[in-house]
Amino acid sequence: MLSGAKQKDHIKVDRFVTDKKGRKVAAIIDIRELDRIEEMLEDAFDLKVIRDRVAEPVADGVRPTEVASPRARAGEHAEGH
């Protein structure tokens, strides 16, 4: 396993497409795997936005880090019950 990476973060490839010399030029993945990858990318983007906003000045007395996304709030409620 790669250090710092979780097994679920690996991309499951069904098949590789190769050129005449046997070099991998494309990968075929299941559509559900594509959906999972898209979700991972969205999560990574959201985390970057949060990190970038931490440095912003306070507006109306509320820091950007104190405002949770609806997705995060839903997770907090689910964990609490």
Domain map (residue ranges) of the chain: 31-81
Instruction: Say how far apart CA 64 and CA 54 lie, in whole Å.
Output: 6
Looking at residue 39, its pLDDT comes to 94
Cα–Cα distance for residue pair 10/71, rounded to 1 Å: 23
| pLDDT value at residue 51 | 86
pLDDT digits (tens, 9 = 90+) for 12-40: 999 999 999 999 999 999 999 999 999 99
Q: What is the mean pLDDT of the segment spanning 53-72? A: 65
Kindly report whether the global pTM for this prediction surpasses the value 0.85: no
Distance, in Å, from the CA atom of 19 to the CA atom of 24, rounded to the nearest integer, reads 7
Predicted pLDDT of residue 3: 45
Residues of the chain above pLDDT 90, percent: 44
